[in-house]
Amino acid sequence: MSKSNKTKKIYLIGAGGHFRSIIDLIHEVNKTDQQVKILGFFDDNKDCFKGYDFKYLGIIENIKSYITEEENYFHISIGSNKLRREISKKYNVKYISLIHPRAIISDFSLIEEGTAIMGGVILNSGVKIGKHCILNTGSIVDHDCIIGSFVHVAPGVTLSGNVKVGQSSWIGTGSQVIQNIEIGSTTLIGAGSTVVKNLGSNILAYGVPCEEVGKWDESI
């Protein structure tokens, strides 16, 4: 989000665990000169997340009733890459990226719509982040990395320079990827892995060094 004193009014889609993180991110943003007002949230589970004083607006399909000409935005607060991709393609609404004020973002980086950048993230010069990604707590993306849309970079991940990650892939907690590596689309890298060679698409891989161990059915 660019800095502005104008309040951004948004709807959140999904109220599971990642929703909690997004609420905290917005709470921190609202301590700065950027203000975000949550108008309500959607979730297919009517008994979904409780504990916050935000208006439940019904199932996700109800989004269609809230598409207006006003300057309101949506953000998909769901951890699943697959669901973020499916929802974003189904509903043609204005999506907004959310950036934690304690993230360090190079002025020479690019972040596309709908992405969440959590606290402690570092994005260096020349980085390009696609649509509806999650860059989770404390992850580091070094210079000239290209991250495809719908990717989840988990907490504590380090991507060295010139790494490319295909869309809908998931880089597990604490993993490290050396420079100039390419990771395909819809691939899952297990937690704590060290990636030292290119990896293809639609695979499960983990270990030190990281090796392909099977296919991934995109179940998360």
Measured from the Cβ of residue 187, the count of other Cβ atoms closer than 10 Å reads: 24
Give the separation between CA 78 and CA 154, rounded to whole angstroms. 14
The string of DSSP codes covering 6-19 is SPEEEEEE--SHHH
pTM for the full predicted model: 0.93
Contacts for 202 with CB less than 8 Å, ≥ 6 apart? 184, 185, 186, 187, 215, 216
Question: Is 75 a residue of the active site?
Answer: no
pLDDT of residue 2: 42
Q: Which is catalytic among the residues 27, 75, 143, 152?
A: 143
pLDDT of residue 71: 81
pLDDT along the chain (220 residues), means of 10: 69 94 96 93 85 88 86 94 96 95 98 98 98 98 98 98 98 98 98 98 97 86
The string of DSSP codes covering 125-160 is TT-EE-TT-EE-TT-EE-TT-EE-TT-EE-TT-EE-
